[in-house]
Chain A
Amino acid sequence: MSDTTRSRPIIEVEGLSKRYGPDVVLDDVSFSVDRGEFVALVGRSGSGKSTLIHLLGGLEPPDSGVISVDGVSLRHHGRTPLAKFRRTHVGIVFQLHNLIPRLTAVQNVELAMFSTGRSRHRRREHALELLERLDLAHRANRRPPQLSGGERARVALARGLANDPPVLLADEPTGSLDDEAADRVGAQLTSLAREGVTVLCVSHDARLNDRADRTLRLADGKVAPSTD
C-alpha cells in the first residue's frame, strides 16, 4: 500500500449519534480510517461497537452525524440505494455468520453476487476462488451445519468479500471460535488489509487486536484516543 493511497481516508465519521430509546449508544462520535488500514474496534459489551458497524454498513440510520464510506455519503441514501451500497462498497461479516443453512458453502458465497452482472459461471468461479483462498475449496459443497465454527466463519468472510468490496466490516468474526480457528481468520484479515482492503473489525480477541494497525476504543458512547 502506497503512502499516497493510505493518506486518503476511506471511512469518515463525524458527529455520529445513535440512541435506542433513552439509551445513548453513540454520542458525537468522529473518526476516520485510511484505505487499507486494519482497525480493531474494541470496548466493553454494550459500548456500541456492533451499532457502529451496522451504521457504517448502512443497515440502520444514525440519529445524527455524517458517515462517508468510499466516497459515498450514507446520509443521502434511501433504502434501495443502501442495498446497492452494501453490495458494492462494503462486505459485512456477522458474529453469528448468518449463513443460510440449506445452501452449500459455495452457494452462500454466490448469494451475495446476484444483481452484480456476473454470469452464473463467473459467480461460481469467483466463489470457488474465494473459498480456495480461505482453504475451504474442499468444503465448498458442504452445508453450514456440516462445517466447523471456524469454517463457517471463513465462509461468512468469503461471502463478505464476494463483491470485492474496498471495505470489510466484521463484527466479532472470531467470537465463537477456538484459538486455532481464530488465528486462521485473523491471518486472513491481516492478509486482506495488506492487499488494500480496509478492515474494521469488532473484537474482544487480544491476538486479533494485536494484528490490527491500530485500535479504536469505544467507551460511554465515545471514541477514546487511538492506540497504534
Chain B
Amino acid sequence: MTFLGLIVHNIAAHKLRALATAGAVAIGVMAVLALGVLTMSLRASATEILQVGKADFTVVQKGANPLESVIAQKDLADMGRVRGVHSLIGVLLETEKYDASHPAVIEVGLDPAAQEPFGVVILQGRSYKPDATNEVMLGYALAQSIHKTVGDTLVIGGKKRTVVGIYRTGVAFGDATIMFPLTTLQAENQVPGYVTLGFVKVDKGVPVPVVKRRIAKKFVQYAPIASLTDFGRTSNTLTLVDAANTGGTILAAVIAISGVLNTTLLSFFERIREFGVMRSIGWSRFRVIVLVLGEALVVGIIGGAFGLLLGWAAVNVLQNLPSLRGFFVPQWSAAVFGRSLYFAIGVALLGALYPAVRAALISPLEALRRE
C-alpha cells in the first residue's frame, strides 16, 4: 500500500463525506468559473463595442457607459475639424424589446452613407433610405435568431418595419443588432441632434495618441478611448464588473471553505481513534497533517472537476437567458479553467487545515479513549 493508495482508500471508505466535501468545492468552482467567464465576456463585449466601426478610437461621454453616452452632433462636427482627424462617424445606440426571448435588442442609428466606412457589409438586400421611417436592416446573427429575412416585416418600437437588408460588421456584438436610419432613430427616441458614440479615424501617418490628446484637451466633457484601459479610465463599469467578480469569488471561497471545514471536521471526530492509532504506532504529526490534507486535495480535485462541469452548464444557462442574449457571448480561456482549479485546491486545503492540525495535535491516548 502506498501513501497515495491509503489516501484513496480513506476517501473511498467515507464516500458520503467525500461527496459532501467535493460538493462544497464543486459549488464554489462553479461560481468562480461562471463569474470568470461572465466577467471576461463583459470585458470582451466592451472591447467589441469599441471595435465596431473599425475606428482608430471611439469618443464617449466622460464617465458614461458606452450605451448610455450622449454626444451632441454639433460637438462631433467640431471634433471632425481637429487637426489629424480624417473622418468621424456618429452612431446612436438604443435598446428595445423585440419579444420575450429578445428583451433588449440593440438598435443602431447610422446614416446609409456612413455604413461602408463603418465596416457594415450588406450580405442580402439593400440599405434603408436615409429618411425612411419603416425600413430597417438586421445583423445576420439577429436575423437568424428571430427568423427574419429580406422582405419580412417585424414590429419593434411599436411600429411595423420592413427588413430591407441583412448585414455583418465582423464583430459578434454588431452582428446581433438592428440598424435604422440615424434621423429616424433619433426622432423616435426624442434625441434629435445627439448620438451615443463617435468613431474617429485619423489621417495616415498621424499618431493616434496625438489626435486623442488634442480631442481630450479641447472637448473635456468627452473621452477618447482606444482600449479597455482607456475605457476603465472614463467609466467605472469594468471596475464594477471586476469588483463583482472578486466579491463573488471571495463569497464562493468562504462558502466552499466552510463546507470543506464542516465535513472534514466531522470526519476528524469520526476518525479520531484512527488518528490515535497512527500516532501511537509512530506516525509523526507532519505525516498525519499530510494524510488529512492529501485526502482533502484529492477530494478537492474531484470536486473541482465536477465544478467545471457545473460551471459550464451554468454558463450555458446564462447564455440562453433572454435578458443576456446578444450581450453575453461566453469567453472560455485556459486562464479561467486554471483559476477555477487553483480555487478548488486552495479551498480544499484551507478548509481541511484546521481539522488536519487538530488530528496531528491530539494526544494518542486521548484519541484512543474516544468511543
Partner-B contacts on A (CB < 8 A): 54, 57, 59-60, 79-80, 83-88, 92, 94, 98-100, 102-103, 107, 110-112, 114-115, 120, 123-124, 159-160, 162-163
Contacts and interface: CB of A to CB of B under 8 A. Distances in A.
Contacts of A94: 280, 368
Contacts of A100: 274, 277
Contacts of A79: 285
A110 B274 contact: no
A92 B1 contact: no
Query: Which one of A83, A92, A94, A163 has the greatest number of beta carbons of chain B within 10 Å?
Result: A83
A99 B276 CA distance: 11
B364 A59 contact: yes
Interface string B265-290: 00000000110111111111111000
B9 interface: yes
Contacts of A87: 281-283
B282 A88 contact: yes
B280 A86 contact: yes
Contacts of B13: 102
Q: How large is the interface on B (under 10, 10 to 19, 20 to 34, 35 or more residues)?
A: 20 to 34
B239 interface: no
A166 B311 CA distance: 57
Query: Which one of B1, B273, B285, B365 has the greatest number of beta carbons of chain A within 10 Å?
Result: B1
B277 A98 contact: yes
Nearest to B271: A100
Interface in B234-280: 273-274, 276-280
A151 B363 CA distance: 28
Contacts of A159: 281
B333 interface: no
A98 B273 contact: yes
A84 B281 contact: no
Contacts of B9: 102-103, 107
A4 B365 CA distance: 36
Contacts of A124: 1
Contacts of A60: 363, 365
B281 A115 contact: no
Contacts of B3: 114
Interface of B: 1-3, 6, 9, 13, 273-274, 276-287, 363-365, 368
B282 A80 contact: no
B363 to A, nearest CB: 7
Nearest to B282: A87
Pairs A-B, 6 closest by C-beta atoms: A87-B282, A86-B282, A112-B281, A102-B13, A83-B284, A98-B277
Query: Which one of B6, B273, B280, B285 has the greatest number of beta carbons of chain A within 10 Å?
Result: B280
Query: Which one of A59, A87, A99 has the greatest number of beta carbons of chain B within 10 Å?
Result: A59
Contacts of B278: 111
Given A84-B284, A98-B276, A112-B282, 19 more contacts: A54-B365, A57-B280, A60-B363, A79-B285, A80-B285, A83-B279, A83-B283, A86-B281, A87-B281, A87-B282, A94-B280, A98-B273, A98-B277, A102-B9, A114-B287, A115-B287, A123-B1, A160-B281, A162-B281
Nearest to B361: A79
Contacts of B1: 107, 110-111, 120, 123-124
B271 to A, nearest CB: 9
Given A59-B364, A59-B365, A98-B368, A80 B284 contact: yes
A99 B277 CA distance: 8
Nearest to B13: A102
A110 B1 CA distance: 7
A112 to B, nearest CB: 4
A163 B283 CA distance: 12
A222 B9 CA distance: 46
A81 B364 CA distance: 14
Query: Which one of B2, B278, B364 has the greatest number of beta carbons of chain A within 10 Å?
Result: B364
A98 B280 CA distance: 10
Contacts of B287: 114-115
Contacts of A103: 9
20 contacts: A54-B365, A60-B365, A80-B284, A80-B285, A83-B279, A83-B284, A84-B282, A86-B281, A87-B282, A92-B280, A92-B281, A94-B368, A99-B277, A102-B13, A107-B9, A110-B1, A111-B278, A112-B282, A114-B6, A114-B287
